Structure formats: C-alpha cells, structure tokens
Amino acid sequence: MARVIDEYVTSLRERLRGPEHVKEDLLAEARDSLDDAAAAYRSGGLAEEAAQRRAVADFGPAAVIAREYQGLLALAHGARTLRTLLLVPVAHLGWELNRGFWVGAWPRFDVPPPDWYLAVARANDSAAWVVAAVAVASLLAGRWLVRRGVAAGTLARLAGAVSAVSVAAVLSGNLAIMTATALVDAARLALPPPVAAATLVPMAIALRLAVLARRCLLLTPAS
Amino acid sequence: MSVKSAYMKSDALRGHLDALLLATVDGGPLHGYAIIEALQLRSGGVLDLPTGTVYPALRRLETAGLVTSEWSTVGGRRRRTYRLTRAGQRALAAERTAWREFTTAIEGVLGGGPWPA
C-alpha cells in the first residue's frame, strides 16, 4: 500500500503550529483533496503509488503550502486572543461585585482625595471596558482588512500587538490604583482575605493574555 | 509552454484567485476538490496552480465573511463544502464589473490593428 499521501500530510502536520482543532480541520480537508486527486488519477489508469505521487505534486511543495496554512493558524490564534480580551471587563465586574459583597461601598475618605487620585481611579475603572471595545473593533477591522487582501500573518501580528498593549494598559491601571491608594490612604489596601484572593483571577487572566499575545508573534510564518 | 510564461501565468492568476474562487461557488455549494476541478474545467485546463494554495485561499475568504463552509456528507464521504454569502455575492458582482471595465479598456487598445486605422 503506497503511503505517499500519508507521508505528505505528516510532513505538513510537522511544519504547522497553532490551535489544534483548526490544524486538524485543515489537514483533514487537505487529505480529502489528495485522496480525491489520487482517485481521479487512478481512474485515469495510473497505479496506486504513481497516482498518489501525482496528487502530491499537484498540491505543491510541503514547505510552501505549509507557510500559507501557518498564516491561517496564526490568524485563528490572533482572533482567539482578541476574543479572550472580552474576559477582562467580566473579571473586573466580578471583582467589584465580590468586593461589594464583602466590603460594601467604599468608606468615605476622611479628607477629600486629590483630583489626580480620582482620575487614576476612573481610568482604572474604564480601562477594562476600553480594552473590550478595542478588542471588538479589532475583530471587525480584521475582517475588513482580510477582505482588502492583507496577509493573515500580518493580521495575526497586529492582533498580538493590540492584545499586548491592552494587557499592559490593564496591568498598569491596577498597579497605578494600588500605588495611588497606598499614598493617599494605605489602610484601604487591607482588604478582607476573600477580596484580596479574588484579585488573583483578573491577574491570572492578564497573564494568560500576555502568553496568548506572545504566541501570536511566534506562530506567524517567517516572511 | 516555456517555464517563464508558466510562471507569469501562475503569478497573474494569484491576483485573481479570490474572484475566481467566488465565481466557482456562485452556482451553488461545492467542496474543495470540486472547486479545483471547476477552475480547471471552466478555464479549459489553462488555470493550473498548486491545488494546496486553493484551501488557504478559501479559508481566508471565509474569515473575510465572503464564503461560509461546513462539513457535510457528500457521496458517503465527509467533505468541507463552501457556499457564497450575501457579502460574497456583492464582492463577486463588484469583481465582475471591474473585470469587464478592465478587459474593455485593454481590448480597445490591444485588440485592434494599428491606430489610427
């Protein structure tokens, strides 16, 4: 039994990295196409192995074809990373609800806090929503750009950059409000353990996003 | 055919691949290999490019929202079939108009004999 098609699909698989279900879906389709082509050559009178060789030759060199598929895998990963950014406001809202449950409304300040403190607090509260809006806008812009013929790999890199900047904005917002609170009224940082522990959830999401954003760049095919 | 003209043909083809793919699924949903056969058949065997490049191009069109695809069973085998979306129909109509204008313009210059006649 000739294994030319098997070997070709394996060599494609070894070259591809990215979301596993997307990868297997692409490979299953490639395999179908190769089987169809080989069947057509067999019915034209070629022997099994020769038919498979012709089918593989028609499909194109694995290195070249893999590069095109790799762009798609990077793009699928980029879109997934942008969708994951939508978790940021959910985590923020969850944290606030949890804090409301354990602490209630923030106590009033003894002396009114300076304007800059309120500005930092407002910026930190809105950062999560801005990030979500940017993610939705990027997904829509990506669809528009792919229609204009922008390469999948370029879009994946853009998605990675947008996500990295978003994560950096969210983390700096968190850091800024904590530092500012420490300066203005350090006692407020002494949160009950369930509230302090809940802080780990948005942090874990941010770290996960940082990893996903970095992978957008790693998965992009070398141009 | 010389190597050079074969290369030029595949290069020129690449720029039109998206429109050609949209045109092949205009008549109804098709799976990938049927799209490749349709391209070869409708071009009289002249359009001949690595078949492996057709699939990434189809997926890119899907990402762009111009086609949708799904796994279905055709003739007892599972295959991924592609169909044109409304946006795809609009894009194809625009491509056809642009192509007609282009060929009319080129024909006006290249098609006749020496000018003025």
Q: Is the pLDDT of residue B12 over 80?
A: no
**Cβ(A124)–Cβ(A170) below 8 Å:** no
For residue B114, being part of any structural domain is answered with: no
DSSP H or E stretch at residue B81? strand B77-84
**In this prediction, what percent of chain B has a pLDDT beyond 90?**
59
Smallest Cβ–Cβ distance between B33 and the set A26, A37, A64 belongs to A37
For residue B116, being part of any structural domain is answered with: no
Cα nearest neighbour of B14 on chain A: A149
Cβ-Cβ contacts under 8 Å for B60 (sequence gap 6 or more): A72, A146, A152, B18
Q: Is the pLDDT of residue B49 over 90?
A: no
Cβ-Cβ contacts under 8 Å for A149 (sequence gap 6 or more): B18
What confidence score (pLDDT) does residue B76 get? 79
For residue B113, being part of any structural domain is answered with: no
B-chain CB neighbours of A33 within 8 Å are 32-33, 36, 51-52, 55
What are the C-alpha distances in Å from A34 to residues A60, B38, B110?
A: 11, 16, 41
Specify which residues B80 forms β-bridges with: B71
Nearest to A127 by CA among A72, A67, A85: A85
pLDDT beneath 70, residues of chain A = 1, 223
The residue among B64 and B3 whose pLDDT is bigger is B64
Q: Is the pLDDT of residue B1 over 60?
A: no
DSSP H or E stretch at residue A51? helix A48-59
A-chain CB neighbours of B52 within 8 Å are 30, 33, 59-60, 64-65, 68
Q: Is the pLDDT of residue B4 over 80?
A: no
For residue B117, being part of any structural domain is answered with: no
Cβ distance A58 to B59 less than 8 Å, yes or no, reads no
**Domain housing B12:** 3-106
Q: What is the distance between the terminal CA atoms of chain A, rounded to a whole angstrom?
A: 37
What confidence score (pLDDT) does residue A35 get? 94
Distance from CA of B106 to the nearest CA of A (A): 24
Tell me the residues of chain B between 48 and 77 that have a Cβ less than 8 Å away from chain A.
50-53, 55-56, 59-60, 63-66, 77
What confidence score (pLDDT) does residue A190 get? 85
- The conformation of residue A16, written as its DSSP 8-state character, comes to -
Q: Which of B22, B51, B70 to mutate to test the interface with A (most CBs of A within 10 A)?
A: B51
Place of tokens 């070249």: A64
B-chain CB neighbours of A72 within 8 Å are 56, 59-60, 63
What confidence score (pLDDT) does residue A93 get? 92
Distance from CA of A206 to the nearest CA of B (A): 27
Smallest Cβ–Cβ distance between B50 and the set A58, A72, A75 belongs to A58
Cβ-Cβ contacts under 8 Å for B100 (sequence gap 6 or more): none
What confidence score (pLDDT) does residue B73 get? 86
Cβ distance B64 to A147 less than 8 Å, yes or no, reads yes
What confidence score (pLDDT) does residue A105 get? 81
For residue B112, being part of any structural domain is answered with: no
Cβ distance B50 to A69 less than 8 Å, yes or no, reads no
User: What are the E-state strand segments in chain A?
Assistant: none
At A208, phi and psi to the nearest 5? Answer: -60, -45
pLDDT digits (tens, 9 = 90+) for B50-96: 899 999 999 999 999 999 999 988 777 889 999 999 999 999 999 99
Dist CA B33 CA B79 (whole Å):
9
What confidence score (pLDDT) does residue A159 get? 96
Q: Does A43 touch chain B (CB under 8 A)?
A: no
Question: Which of the four pLDDT bands, split at 50, 70 and 90, describes residue B10?
Answer: low
What confidence score (pLDDT) does residue B96 get? 96
For residue B115, being part of any structural domain is answered with: no
Cβ distance B59 to A30 less than 8 Å, yes or no, reads no
For residue B80, being part of any structural domain is answered with: yes
Smallest Cβ–Cβ distance between B52 and the set A32, A65, A143 belongs to A65
Q: Is the pLDDT of residue B45 over 70?
A: yes
Q: What angle do CA A114, A118, A121 make, to 5 degrees?
A: 140
**Cβ(A203)–Cβ(A175) below 8 Å:** no
What confidence score (pLDDT) does residue B8 get? 47
Dist CA A32 CA A9 (whole Å):
11
Dist CA A178 CA B8 (whole Å):
62
Smallest Cβ–Cβ distance between B51 and the set A33, A64, A142 belongs to A33
**Cβ(B24)–Cβ(B38) below 8 Å:** yes
What are the C-alpha distances in Å from A55 to residues A6, A40, A49, A50, A67?
A: 12, 9, 10, 9, 19
Q: Is the dihedral of CA A85, A86, A87, A90 positive or negative?
A: positive
Please give the tally of structural domains in chain B.
Answer: 1
Cβ distance A69 to B77 less than 8 Å, yes or no, reads no
Residue B51 sits in a domain of what CATH number? 1.10.10.10
pLDDT digits (tens, 9 = 90+) for A95-148: 999 988 888 887 788 888 899 999 999 999 899 999 999 999 999 999 999 988
